[in-house]
Amino acid sequence: MKKVGVALLGLGVVGGGTYEILKKHQEFFKKTQGVDLVVKYVMDRNTARCTELGVDPAIITTDINVIADDPDVQIVAEFFGGIEPARTFLTTVLKKGKSIVTANKELFSKYWHELEAAAKEGKAGLYYEASCVGGVPIIRTLTEGTQANRILSIKGIINGTTNYILSSMSDEGKTYENALAEAQRLGYAEADPTADVEGFDAMYKLSILSSLAYHKKVPIDRVYREGISRVAIEDILIGKELGLTLKLLAISKDDGKKIQARVHPTFVPNTHPLASVSGSFNAVHLVGDSVGDIMLYGRGAGALPTGSAIVSDILYAAKQTKHRYCPFNNTGTATKDGDFADDFISKYYIRLTVKDEVGTLGRIAGAFGKNNVSIVTVLQRDSRTEIVNIIFVTHETLEKNIKKAIEDIKSLKGVTEVNSVIHVEE
């Protein structure tokens, strides 16, 4: 029986879930996987937490070098999150030949190349299934399940906090502020929710997934990012009337020449498989050139779902006789500026406040037409007052055309305000 020593850095939510799975299933893994996973070290300053989880005090350490220098440790799983000390610690152990397993999307998306260089130096492996979409095996799907395909697009709901907030706005008619407060009370959102609600978390994940999918590094600064903090409940309710559901989507596409990647609030038709992914669930929809449409759905966060991905990575890492590295780092296909599209094509939902006067609608239609934006749907709301809302849904158009049209419309007589401009994906 192959014995594999594991060190856990951090024993928070996911670290705790991982420890629980490793203890509960040690015999099960011996029987079904032929591997004896032994927790050799736990690094956490919170001794109360360690005691609560039943960690033997003898295996608690605060010194990374104890772990790095122990030849019986083969795998180090990291749960600190953020950049430091994770970056230094993981680089240290990789160089000593220990494979790492991590859920740290921020570190991974920013310092992948650095971690990979350290891994090559130590002939160690990098495993990061848990960094994207919790327990859903999306990384394994990309690297071992659909690798026969050129991936054409990724569309995902990959942040549970924002999906919970948008679902509760849509289902219960709550404002953003009230939905956020509720999510915080229930533990679905952090006290400082910025990383989730402003789309940073989804941006990190989309950078990782897109890099794997398109075999080229898609750095975070090439991912357009827009959060949900300015989403108005009015638009969610109007969208419902139009058969559209609002989601924070992470979208990337590769047309074979240019890559585009973006995170923003997006309307999808109610019939789209992603429309029914609600609450804290996550889902990723892929299109491959041979396989066509694939969707994976599951829990994107939580102690045990993310712990499941961590332990699956540990078992996977334990069985590799030779670790593999990313082709885009191996072959030097550094991404160039020209690899990215700066002209997005999308449909748009636009809500305007206008004065109910003869000629206003004609002037607006003229401004769209002048900028080559054609309209699918016009919806006028509530004409009991002199101020009315008009909603337009466009055909596919270049983002630069929409921007120019909106600039023109803003200065038109009778237009009071451009309230919302929201992407619509089919």
Among 210, 305, 399, 406, binds a copy of itself (CB under 8 A): 305
* Catalytic residue (choose from 110, 155, 205, 253): 205
Among the listed residues 418, 422, 406, 421, the one whose alpha carbon sits nearest the alpha carbon of residue 353: 418
Q: How far is the CB of 166 from a copy of itself (least distance, A)?
A: 18
Q: Does 39 bind a copy of itself (CB under 8 A)?
A: no
- Interacting span for a copy of itself (CB under 8 A) from 145-153, 162-170, 260-268, 335-343: 145-153
258 binds a copy of itself (CB under 8 A): no
Sites for a copy of itself among residues 156-215 (CB under 8 A):
215
Do 375 and 338 form a contact (C-beta atoms < 8 A)? no
Cα–Cα distances (Å) from 360 to 298, 321, 405, 419, in that order, read 47, 70, 15, 16
Q: Which of 84, 187, 290, 336 binds a copy of itself (CB under 8 A)?
A: 290
In the complex, minimum distance from the CB of residue 297 to a copy of itself, in angstroms, rounded to a whole number: 4
Binding part of the chain for a copy of itself, among 141-149, 175-183, 184-192, 229-237 by CB under 8 A, reads 141-149
Report d(CA 332, CA 323) in Å as an integer.
Answer: 18
- The closest alpha carbon to 224, from 262, 265, 266, belongs to 262
Exactly one of 65, 194, 330, 380 binds a copy of itself (CB under 8 A); that residue is 330
Measured CA to CA, the distance from residue 283 to residue 298 in angstroms comes to 6
- The single residue among 89, 164, 316, 392 that binds a copy of itself, judged by CB under 8 A, is 316
| Per CB under 8 A, 383 contacts a copy of itself | no
Q: Distance of CA 285 to CAs 133, 146, 196, 369, 376, Å?
A: 12, 12, 20, 33, 25
Whose Cβ is closer to a copy of itself: residue 68's or residue 133's? 133
What is the Cβ-side half-sphere exposure of residue 200, based on CA atoms within 13 angstroms?
Answer: 12
Give residues 10-29 in contact with a copy of itself (rule: CB under 8 A).
17, 21, 25, 28-29
Residue 426 neighbours by CB under 8 Å, 6+ apart: 268, 269, 272, 347
Q: Which of 372, 365, 377 is nearest to 399 (CA)?
A: 372
Instruction: Look at strands 415-424 and 345-355 and give their pairing.
Output: antiparallel
Distance of CA 261 to the CA centre of its chain: 12
Q: Which of 112, 298, 347, 415 binds a copy of itself (CB under 8 A)?
A: 298
CA 10 to chain centre: 22
Place of tokens 């000629």: 359
Q: Choose which of 147, 372, 380, 383 interacts with a copy of itself (CB under 8 A).
A: 147
Q: Residue 149, interface with a copy of itself (CB under 8 A)? A: yes
Tell which residue, 240, 53, 208, has the closest CA to residue 138. Answer: 208
Q: Whose structure tokens read 């903090």?
A: 229
- The answer to whether residue 359 forms part of the interface with a copy of itself (CB under 8 A) is no
For the question of residue 205 being annotated catalytic, the response is yes
- Among the candidate windows 46-54, 139-147, 167-175, 368-376, which touches a copy of itself by CB under 8 A? 139-147
Q: Which one, 101 or 206, has the nearer CB to a copy of itself?
A: 101
Q: Which stretch binds a copy of itself (CB under 8 A): 45-53, 87-95, 100-108, 128-136?
A: 128-136
Nearest approach, Cβ of 84 to a copy of itself (angstroms)?
29
For residues 80 and 82, give the distance between their C-alpha atoms in angstroms, rounded to a whole number. Answer: 7
User: By the criterion CB under 8 A, which residues form the site for a copy of itself?
Assistant: 17, 21, 25, 28-29, 31-34, 129, 135-137, 140-141, 144-150, 215, 273, 276, 288-299, 302, 304-305, 307-312, 314-316, 319, 321-322, 324, 327, 330-331
Task: Please list the active-site residues.
Answer: 205
